[in-house]
Amino acid sequence: MAIHVRIPTILRSYTGGAKAVDGAGDTLAQLLSDLDTRYPGLRGRLLAPDGGLHRFVNVYVNDEDVRFLGALETKLSDGDTVTILPAVAGGS
């Protein structure tokens, strides 16, 4: 078992084109560090200079926004799905 991570099209240049990759970590921060060892540069695109999540990046654990769960300290378990998406304008 591992943590399943969905990568948006715009960031697949870091994953060799892979739509989804597996990673490990007890928290989101650990997961991103783990991913960065195999996909260098990916972590840097997701974080702001202050070390927090980039304002225009949304990350969801099992479909729930991590900003409401604990941000980078959000706890992860094996089998979780992490989805990374660019922020887009919604509304109608």
Q: Which residues bind another protein (CB under 8 A)?
A: 8-11, 45, 54-58, 60, 63-65, 67-68, 83, 85-92
CB of 69 vs another protein, minimal distance in Å: 8
Contacts of 62 (CB under 8 A, 6+ apart): 80, 81
> What is the C-alpha to C-alpha distance for residues 42 and 37, in angstroms, rounded to an integer?
9
CB of 1 vs another protein, minimal distance in Å: 22
Residue 16 or 91 with smaller CB distance to another protein? 91
CB of 25 vs another protein, minimal distance in Å: 20
